[in-house]
């Protein structure tokens, strides 16, 4: 049993890392990006502002207001400070238009939608920095995911070799 302790421990750790990434991604969607999508789709400034405020609470609580989500080099599509500043500007615009005319409200809603979304390969997508759900632990998660792939590949390879050896002895 002792000879299997290290491989089993490695397998458990290799499975925990990707599961943790998935859980963090789901939590981000439930507490932030889902609200941003609703704010972009909202038909009234009040509704958009309510959704945007909920997302901003999560962003500020989790310190997603500065830095870059990239691991190797900083690119502007992963700039959290720009993204956060843009969200705050949308919030300010929505607050300012609450007492405006219907035309002003429509214009602000269109502007907010354009600020929160982009046209992607699969249609309209939220403008969110890649890897934000793992921030500020992007580097450790990248390393652990690579190690997980190596461990799982090694274990699968070992199982295949043992199965091949077993099947030739039949």
pLDDT in tens, 72-106: 899 999 999 999 999 999 999 999 999 999 999 99
Q: What is the pTM of this model?
A: 0.85
> Do residues 49 and 98 make contact, with C-beta atoms less than 8 angstroms apart?
yes
Q: What is the mean pLDDT of residues 134-156?
A: 89
Rounded mean pLDDT of the chain?
Answer: 92
Residues 113-122, mean pLDDT to the nearest whole number: 92
- Report how far residue 170's alpha carbon sits from residue 162's, in angstroms, rounded to the nearest whole number: 13
Residue 1 confidence (pLDDT): 60
> Which residues are 119's β-sheet partners?
124
The partner residues of 79 in beta bridges, in order of sequence, read: 68
The span from the CA of 49 to the CA of 20, in Å, is: 31
Q: What is the pLDDT of residue 170?
A: 66
**Is the pLDDT higher at 157 or at 93?**
93
Residue 122: other Cβ atoms inside 10 A = 6
Question: For residues 154 and 7, what is the distance between their CA atoms, to the nearest angstrom?
Answer: 10
| Residue 7 pLDDT greater than 90, yes or no | no
Q: Give CA separation, 47 vs 2, 42, 59, 112, in Å.
A: 59, 6, 19, 12
Contact 36, 116 (CB under 8 A): yes
For residue 91, what are its two tokens? 């919030």
Can you tell me the distance from the alpha carbon of 105 to that of 6, in angstroms, rounded to the nearest whole number?
A: 62
Q: What mean pLDDT comes out for the span 120-137?
A: 93
Cis check: omega of the bond before 136, within 30 degrees of 0: yes
Q: For residue 117, what are the β-bridge partners? A: 126
Stronger pLDDT, 56 or 9, i.e. the higher one? 56
What proportion of the chain, given as a percentage, has pLDDT over 70?
Answer: 99
Q: pLDDT band at 108, cuts 50/70/90?
A: very high
State both tokens at 165. 């050896």
């Amino acid at each position: 049993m002792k000879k299997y302790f290290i491989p089993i421990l490695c397998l458990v750790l290799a499975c925990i890392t990707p599961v943790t990434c998935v859980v963090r991604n789901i939590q981000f969607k439930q507490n932030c990006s889902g609200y941003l999508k609703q704010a972009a789709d909202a038909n009234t400034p009040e509704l958009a502002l309510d959704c945007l405020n909920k997302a901003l609470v999560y962003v500020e609580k989790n310190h997603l207001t500065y830095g870059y989500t990239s691991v190797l080099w900083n690119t502007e599509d992963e700039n959290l400070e720009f993204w956060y500043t843009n969200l705050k500007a949308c919030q300010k615009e929505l607050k300012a238009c609450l007492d405006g005319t219907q035309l002003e409200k429509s214009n602000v809603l269109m502007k907010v939608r354009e600020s929160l979304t982009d046209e992607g390969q699969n249609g309209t997508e939220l403008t969110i920095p890649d890897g934000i759900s793992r921030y500020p632990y992007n580097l450790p998660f990248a390393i652990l995911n690579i190690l997980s792939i190596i461990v799982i590949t090694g274990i699968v390879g070992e199982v295949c070799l043992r199965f091949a050896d077993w099947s030739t002895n039949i």
